[in-house]
Amino acid sequence: MGKKILIVDDEVHIKMLLEQTLEELEDEHGVELFTASDGEEGLDLIRSEKPDLVFLDIMMPRMNGYEVCRTVKEDKELENVQIVLLTAKGQEVDRKQGLELGAVRYMTKPFDPDEILSVSREMLNF
């Protein structure tokens, strides 16, 4: 089974940048990429696809990243989903809240594509 990565962000250019960055893993390892534009759509995709890794924006309409993260972590069927929170807010209190909710990483925007790749490789054991 190939690995799956989901990108959840309401900013189109961020989503595209992440997709372009992660296409390298698609080519090398057959990773499947999925995208969602808000928290609700993201949560639906997490439930249906059970991605191995989710890059999840915090500030989004309909359902924010914290709410998505909490919901995923409370669901036993989704316990293997690893979440990396992405945010423009780099404050310690935000990071702490994200990690307490079960995110494995917290990355601030603008992010370094190389860092996104290395975190992905690490999380997916490539």
pLDDT at residue 114, rounded to an integer = 96
Contacts of 62 (CB under 8 A, 6+ apart): 38, 39, 40, 41
pLDDT at residue 31, rounded to an integer = 97
User: What's the whole-number mean pLDDT along residues 51-64?
Assistant: 95
User: What does each C-alpha distance from 46 to 68, 88, 104 come to in angstroms?
Assistant: 9, 23, 16
Residue range 4-124 forms a domain whose CATH class is alpha beta
Q: Enumerate the domain spans of the chain.
A: 4-124
Q: What is the pLDDT of residues 21-32, one digit of tens each?
A: 999 999 999 999
